[in-house]
Chains A and B, each alone.
Chain A
Amino acid sequence: MAKKILVVDDEPDVLTYLTTLFSDNGFDVMTANNGKECFDKARNEKPDLITLDITMPEESGVRAFKELQEDSLTENIPVIIITGITSEFKKFISTRKQVKPPLAYFEKPIDRDLLIAKVKELVGV
């Protein structure tokens, strides 16, 4: 059975891009536009991995990441951060010791091969 990936980003073009990319590499893909949708889908659909953008209007990726970490249903889902902004997230991580760092971190624009390799490694394909 194909592994499920939840792609979270507020930009439709980025969603299209990642959805296509992961599909082409044999994954099932779900999308979410904001942090709240991300958290709901993560609880209900139990994806095998989540890629998360940091700057989103409704609820920021930082808050979504913290919520995922604090919920027993979602805390073990590996999260890869894909974002354009580095400073805000790094600051958040450094000031909150109880939050585990994300398993991987990619800056936009991404290196496709490295991302796919990392995803495969994390979901154990």
Chain B
Amino acid sequence: MADKTVNITPEELSGILSTDFIENVPFNVAVIDKNHQIVFANESFKNYFGNWEGKYCYQVYKKTDEKCRNCQSDESFVSGKILVSNETGYDKHGRSCQYVNHYSPIRDKKGNIPYQLMMSTDIIYSELMQKEYSLLFEKAACYITVIDRDFRIVRANQKFRDTFGSIEGKHCYEVYKKKKAPCNICNALETFEDGMEHSSAEVGLSLDGEETHYVVTTTPLTRSKDGISLVLQMAIDITEIYELETQLERDQEFFHSLLQHTSDGVLILDQKNKVIFMNKPAQLLLNWKGKKKPNYNTLKNMFPEEFFIQAKEDGMISDLPSTTIRNHSGEEILVRFKAFEIKYKDKKTNKIAFITDLRNQKKTEEIMFESKRDDVISETLAGISHSVKNLLMSLEGGMYLLDSGIKNNDSKRLNQGWGVLNKNLKRTTNLVKSFVDYTKGKKIELKPVNPVELTEKICEYQKPIADKYGIRIVFDTLPYINKIMLDPDGIEICLSNLISNAIDAVMLSGRNDGKVNVRVKGDEKEITFEISDNGIGMNKEVKAKLFSTFFTTKGGQGPGLGLLTIRKIVSEHSGRIEFDSNEGKGSVFRIIIPAVSKSESK
């Protein structure tokens, strides 16, 4: 298809151009004829756009069979000028590419333009890179500045400007730290001097005047013949981390001091059972001297074996209200010992032991007990002397009646006197007996007892007395209650006393539908004996004094030791007494005993 007017054949042209120059020039070079058919292309072109032989330029550049609408090449053919344009096409893999194309007419000797030289270079990569870096600089999540040798900020990214404010004509220390003079130690200065990277942690002031903590790195950016001309400063904001760190430090200090100042001994092990903390009280208790902490095997000789067992679901290892540890000097010490495990995200992290020295507490308890005992003794003596004084007064009255009866030969008065003496002799006997009752139960003897059978028996004993006054005793119980550990004699004293009191209360009310209910209730935890009546009930004054020594509502008939004795027996069963009463309506008393009763022998 060559033009007839052409003086240079394609073969001759190839000869002219196929030099090293054409092949090595860093452009994609092609030559087209007026019909846009490619007649020559270098290797670089082929590598970039693919095979060209026998193809038209648009087929190779644009991978299309249609000629371009605004064909620059046509223009260049017509005008004979060199043209340049930005083009978009496809490379040999079909990937979109942008390139700059130069269109240069090739003239023959007559000045005709039979061919055109097309040289293209890829522009997309460098443009993209530039854009990327610019974006990175602006939007990076750290503070980036470029400073010159006078420490003036030449450029700063958006995050920096947002946090520290405008930079125009300002020095870095003015913006970063709101200071008027350079810092004493300056990373940038060092980088300017030695051309190396430098880092340090700094505190600046933000636009809002808030302390801003950051770690800054300075790097040389450009060099001139005088050395480094620009330095890049990159800083990462660590304010939040710094605040967390401070908080953490404070918390650590708080807990450390808490553990250090508690009066309990505290010992903490890490997950490898290494002792990592031991407070002063623990050191004193264990008599452990020196900085080295005890190891696991040493602990095995000191701590109760319950410390070394597997922790329960809730982390508790053991809680021993009273046990002994053996300290470093082999001394056995009475302590409360509590150990538990701490977990973080289901992973065991620490084992902790709290040790309370019980030696002093024991002493305090003894002192308390003694002073209480003194109180009880003086109260008891006052009570006894009151009872005895009343008895003596009555006995003296009897004697007076007897004496004056004899003197006046008054047989009525003699009889009266004898009666009084007799009655008070019985009262004296009763008083002594109640002392014996009270002190007799000093040591209760626990044995397995069926509480229902025991109560039924006591009710039977009381029935004749109740019957005499027309009072019904109604016994009511659950069908079956397990045997529990009781002192049957002690419980009998309690129940007899309460039933007898109830009978008295009903009697005093004077009603004719008098009733005493006796109930036994229970579960696996505790047994309740309940005695209720529809008698006279108690007023506030009586309720308040109910358990004081020698308190009685029965005139001189009893010394007032009954409820006190009951309370003593019940407390020896680790139980408790409850009561309630409505004046005029009746009273209810409950003795509640734990089903697993512990003996407290003191």
Taking Cβ atoms with an 8 Å cutoff, the residues of A that contact B are: 10-14, 16-18, 20-21, 24, 55, 57, 60, 84-85, 87, 107-110, 112
Distance A85 CA – B393 CA, assembled complex (angstroms): 13
Q: How many A-B residue pairs have CB under 8 A?
A: 70
25 A-B contacts (beta carbon < 8 Å): A11-B390, A12-B555, A12-B556, A13-B424, A13-B556, A14-B393, A16-B401, A16-B420, A17-B393, A17-B397, A17-B400, A18-B397, A20-B400, A24-B404, A57-B542, A57-B552, A57-B553, A84-B393, A85-B382, A85-B386, A108-B389, A108-B390, A108-B393, A109-B393, A112-B400
Within 8 A of A (CB), among B335-392: 382, 385-387, 389-390, 392
A109 & B413 in contact (Cβ 8 Å cutoff) = no
Distance A108 CA – B382 CA, assembled complex (angstroms): 13
Q: How many interface residues does chain B have, given as a range? A: 20 to 34
Taking Cβ atoms with an 8 Å cutoff, the residues of B that contact A are: 382, 385-387, 389-390, 392-398, 400-401, 404, 413, 416, 420, 423-424, 541-542, 552-556
Distance A55 CA – B390 CA, assembled complex (angstroms): 11
B556 & A11 in contact (Cβ 8 Å cutoff) = yes
User: In this complex, what residue of A is CB-closest to B556?
Assistant: A11
B422–chain A nearest beta-carbon distance, Å: 11
- Identify B390's interface contact among A21, A60, A84, A112, CB under 8 A: A84
The secondary-structure label for the interface of chain B is helix
Known: A12-B556, A17-B401. 19 other contacts (CB 8 A): A11-B390, A11-B394, A13-B393, A13-B420, A14-B394, A16-B420, A17-B394, A17-B396, A17-B400, A17-B420, A20-B401, A20-B404, A20-B413, A57-B542, A57-B554, A84-B386, A85-B386, A109-B392, A112-B400
User: In this complex, what residue of A is CB-closest to B427?
Assistant: A13
Distance A109 CA – B420 CA, assembled complex (angstroms): 15
B423 & A13 in contact (Cβ 8 Å cutoff) = yes
User: In this complex, what residue of A is CB-closest to B383?
Assistant: A85
Chain B residues with Cβ below 8 Å from A84 are 385-387, 389-390, 393
Distance A55 CA – B302 CA, assembled complex (angstroms): 60
B461–chain A nearest beta-carbon distance, Å: 27
- Identify B397's interface contact among A14, A24, A57, A85, CB under 8 A: A14
Chain A residues with Cβ below 8 Å from B413 are 20
A111–chain B nearest beta-carbon distance, Å: 10
User: In this complex, what residue of B is CB-closest to A14?
Assistant: B393
With A20-B404, A109-B396 as contacts: A11 and B555 at CB distance below 8 Å: yes
Chain B residues with Cβ below 8 Å from A13 are 393-394, 397-398, 420, 423-424, 556
B396–chain A nearest beta-carbon distance, Å: 5
- Identify B555's interface contact among A10, A21, A109, CB under 8 A: A10
Distance A21 CA – B401 CA, assembled complex (angstroms): 9
Distance A81 CA – B260 CA, assembled complex (angstroms): 63
With A11-B556, A110-B393 as contacts: A55 and B386 at CB distance below 8 Å: yes
A14 & B390 in contact (Cβ 8 Å cutoff) = yes
- Identify B392's interface contact among A18, A20, A108, A112, CB under 8 A: A108
B405–chain A nearest beta-carbon distance, Å: 10
User: In this complex, what residue of B is CB-closest to A107?
Assistant: B389
- Nearest 6 CB-CB pairs, A to B? A17-B397, A84-B389, A13-B394, A108-B393, A109-B392, A108-B389
Chain B residues with Cβ below 8 Å from A109 are 389, 392-393, 395-396
Chain A residues with Cβ below 8 Å from B389 are 84, 107-109
Chain B residues with Cβ below 8 Å from A85 are 382, 386
A87 & B401 in contact (Cβ 8 Å cutoff) = no
Distance A16 CA – B386 CA, assembled complex (angstroms): 19
Chain A residues with Cβ below 8 Å from B382 are 85, 87
User: In this complex, what residue of B is CB-closest to A18?
Assistant: B397
Chain A residues with Cβ below 8 Å from B387 are 84
A109–chain B nearest beta-carbon distance, Å: 4
B400 & A21 in contact (Cβ 8 Å cutoff) = yes
Chain A residues with Cβ below 8 Å from B390 are 11, 14, 84, 108
User: In this complex, what residue of A is CB-closest to B553?
Assistant: A57
